[in-house]
Every structure is written in C-alpha cells, then in structure tokens.
Structure 1
Amino acid sequence: MKLYYNPLSSYSQKVVIAFYEKNVQFTPEMINVMDPAARAEYTKVSPFGKIPLLVLDDGRKVIESTIIIEYLEDYYGSSGTRLIPEDKDLAREARYLDRFFDLYINDAMQKVFFDGMKPEDQRDPRGVAAAKLTMDRAYATADELLATRTWAVGDVFTMADCSAAPSLGYAAMVYPFDKYKNLASYANRLSERPSVARIRTEAAPFMAQLARG
C-alpha cells in the first residue's frame, strides 16, 4: 500500500497514527503541498489534490482520512490497537468524536491559522471570530466529556483519538485551551502516546523548515 501524505498535514498525521497503532506497513509518498508543480502533478493521482490518499496494491484508492482508518480496521482488525470498538454504541461514539475533532477543532483551527498568513487587507475577521467561537464551544464540550475519561471514548484508544491528537496539537499553538484542564490533560496524554510522539518527531524537521520560511 502506498500512502500519499504530508508530515505537517493534520489529516495525514491522523492516518499515520492509525497505521502505527495497527502495526500495518505502508509505503509513504510525501507530497509537497506548498509546491504548485508538485500539487499539479499530484492531481493526476487525486483529482481534487487532497491528502491523505491510500492506494492499494491492486490500484484501488481509499480517500478521506476517516475512511482510510475504517479500511484499516476492516482489513487489519486483529492487528495492533482496535480503533473502532466492537460494541456498536461505543463504535458509533468513536465515529462521532472522530468527526467532532475534525470539524469543530481542526477545521476551525485551520481557518484561524491560514487567515493569519494572509496580507492584512485580505483577512476575514468575521470568519476568524466565528471559527474561534466554534473552538470555544468544542473545547468546553470536550472538557466536560473528558472529566472522567482517559481517552475520547473511555478507557480504550480509538479512531477518535487519532483525530484528536493532530487537531489539539496544532490548536494548542493557534488558539490555546489551557484553561480547560481536562482537555489539556488529555492533550498531554496524547502527546505521550508512542504513535503520536513518533509522528511529531517525524514532522519536527519540516516544522522547523516552515518556521524558517
């Protein structure tokens, strides 16, 4: 299997965490999303240019981070960490929280981050304010949920935590959540998880390069 990804992409990190948790081997194919020529070439593989993208050995494509994790659980369920619980109610909650961290924290965080990179006269203050409001509500919701839980769904690490790790990792830099103590403690636990620590170590040189411009 070949995974098209970028080590700084939060959705790529989400999927790579899942691969590491499942102990499933893959061939990484890094896409430089900042290079217009590389992006144009990549559209030959993925028409919308989105990452991550998993290409199976028979050429079939699995698109979207959540669907890739679903694929891993369907075909490698007995390997490594079970990321979608067998219990139907817990499985449904894991899927919901996967979307929760993606939509209400990660996507809102990206709005704030990328808007800040634009020239002053091209920024969208109303959009940023709306994104921060969404994040505040998500932080409060997650903080309450995590008051009695080790991981997002409870005592077991799931696909929801694969989503939460990159979302919260970047959110902490863009719009910190220190006052939400349960959420902050959860983020620390995620940071100590070997799969999460590994993807952050792998991303560090690229983050440093980005910071240098």
Structure 2
Amino acid sequence: MELYTYYRSTASYRVRIALALKGLDYQALPVNLLAAGGGANRQPEYLRINPQGRVPALRTDDGELLIQSLAIIEYLEERYPQVPLLSQELAARAHERAVALLIGCDIHPLHNSSTQNLLRQWGYDEARVLEWIGYWISNGLAAVEQLIGEQGYCFGEQPGLADTFLIPQLYAAERFKVPLDAYPRIRRVAALAAEHPAFQKAHPANQPDTPA
C-alpha cells in the first residue's frame, strides 16, 4: 500500500495510527503542504490523485485509490479485521464512531489550514485566529471528555477508532497551545498512547518528511 501523507496532518496521522495498530506495511509518499506554489497538494499531479487536494490518500494493495481518513480507516477495518478497531457490539460501535465523527467533522475542520487561511484573508490577526482555534478545540474536547470511558483507552483496554482520532487532535491542541488540564480522561488516554509502539511509530516526529 502507498499512503500520501504529510507529517503534521492530523487526518494523515489518524490513518498512520490505524495502519500501525493493524501491523500493516505501507510506503509513505510525503506531500508537502507548504511547498512553493500553494503546496504540492495543489499541483496537477496530486489533484489527479485526490481532486480535493488534501491528504491522506491511500492506494490499496489491489490498486484502489481511497480518500478521507474515516473512509480509509473503515476500509482497513473491513479488509483487515484481525486487529479490530471497533467493538463487536452494535451500540458500542456507534459510540466509538460518534467520538471519531465529533473530532473529524466538528473540531478539525474549524482549525485546519484552509480555515485558518480564510480567517486571515478576512482580516483576522494571528491573536484572533488562535482565539478561534482554541475555542473550537476546547469546546469539542469538553464533549469528548464526557463521552469516553473512565479507564483504559477511549472505550476499553485496547485502542480503537476513537483513539485514532483523539490522539492526532491532541497533537493539534498542543501545537496551538490549548490547555488540557480540564480533561483528565483525555489526558489518561494520551498517557497510554504515548507508551504504545503503534502511536509512537505514527507520531509526526517520526515521519520521513519530518523536518530535521
């Protein structure tokens, strides 16, 4: 498999975690979002891979080209079920997906680079942009704190779908200096993930395109 990725893209980070948790090999194909000309993701070569011009994209071992992190992870879950990321029980899976969707649809889009750039175009200075980012990350994490369990990872002793979304979101919170003091459950999950080899392997600090 080939993963089009960028080291600090939280969406790419989610897929790297899922691949690592499942023990799947892949070739990382870095896409520099900050390259000259608006980023490598905006060049014709990459737009032929993903017309949305975003990462990640995954070329599967049978040649399918997939986009959108949740769709990619759900594909991996169905194609390689041996290390499950979702519970067996129906309602539990819905709760796990709800946390992933809360992060992927309600938090992340409000602070990603395209949103930040639009705010700057509208005249927001950096202080206001950071205020915007901090508000939406804090607002979303406050809800996640109430939805996850009181021990282990988000929903049990083994990491799963919700954790693949939460840990990259916490990386973003750290980047933007959003405090986590009010979220003891979330901090517990972060501490567990920090010691887990799959999360370590997927971390932005350990990617082939991480700046030296």
Same fold, TM-score > 0.5, yes or no: yes
Structure 2: which amino acid aligns with 1:199? A
> Partner amino acid for 1:192?
E
1:53 matched residue in structure 2: 57
Distance in 1, Cα, partners of 2:111 & 2:2: 28
Amino acid at match of 1:56: T
Question: Runs of 5+ in structure 2 lacking a partner?
Answer: none
Instruction: Give the whole-Å Cα distance in 1 for the aligned partners of 2:100 and 2:180.
Output: 19
Cα distance in 1 between the residues matched to 2:4 and 2:113? 23
Evaluate the alpha carbon distance shift between residue 204 and residue 58 of structure 1 in structure 2; reply closer, same or farther with a 3 A threshold: closer
Give the match for residue 86 of structure 2: 84
**Alpha-carbon distance, 1:122 to partner:** 4.6
Secondary structure, in 3 states, of the residue corresponding to 2:112? helix
Judge conservation of contact 2:13–2:202 (CA < 8 Å) in 1: yes
The answer to whether the 8 Å contact 1:109/1:171 transfers is: no
2:136 equivalent in structure 1: 134
Q: Which residue of 1 aligns with 2:29?
A: 29
Which residue matches 1:145?
Answer: 147
- 1:57, distance to aligned residue in structure 2 (A): 3.7
Return 5+ residue gaps in structure 1 as ranges: none
- Of Structure 1 and Structure 2, which has the larger fraction of its residues in helix? 1
User: For structure 1, which segment, 100-109 or 84-93, has the greater mean C-alpha deviation from structure 2 after superposition?
Assistant: 100-109
CA separation of 1:96/1:105 partners in 2, compared to 1, >3 Å: closer, same or farther? same
Distance 1:205 1:59 in 2: 24
Change over 3 Å in CA distance of 1:44–1:147 after alignment to 2: closer
Q: Is the 8 A contact 1:62 1:68 kept in 2?
A: yes
Question: Which stretch of the first structure deviates more once superposed, 128-137 or 160-169?
Answer: 128-137
The letter for the 2-side match of 1:18 is: A
Larger displacement relative to structure 2 (54-63 or 163-172): 54-63
* CA distance 1:105–1:168, change in 2 (3 Å): farther
Higher mean C-alpha deviation, range 164-173 or range 104-113: 104-113
State the match for 1:8 in structure 2: 8
Greater Cα shift, 165-174 or 64-73: 165-174
Moved over 6 A (4+): 124-127
Give the 3-state SS of the residue equivalent to 1:71 in structure 2: helix
RMSD between superposed Cα atoms in Å: 3.1
Q: 2:183 aligns with which of 158, 168, 180?
A: 180
Identity of aligned residues (%): 23
Q: Which amino acid aligns with 1:46?
A: N
Instruction: Give, in angstroms, the shift of residue 51 of structure 1.
Output: 0.8
How far apart, in 1, do the equivalents of 2:148 and 2:78 lie?
28
Structure 1 Cα separation of the partners of residues 23 and 84 of structure 2: 11
Shift of 1:176: 1.9
Distance 1:14 1:66 in 2: 8
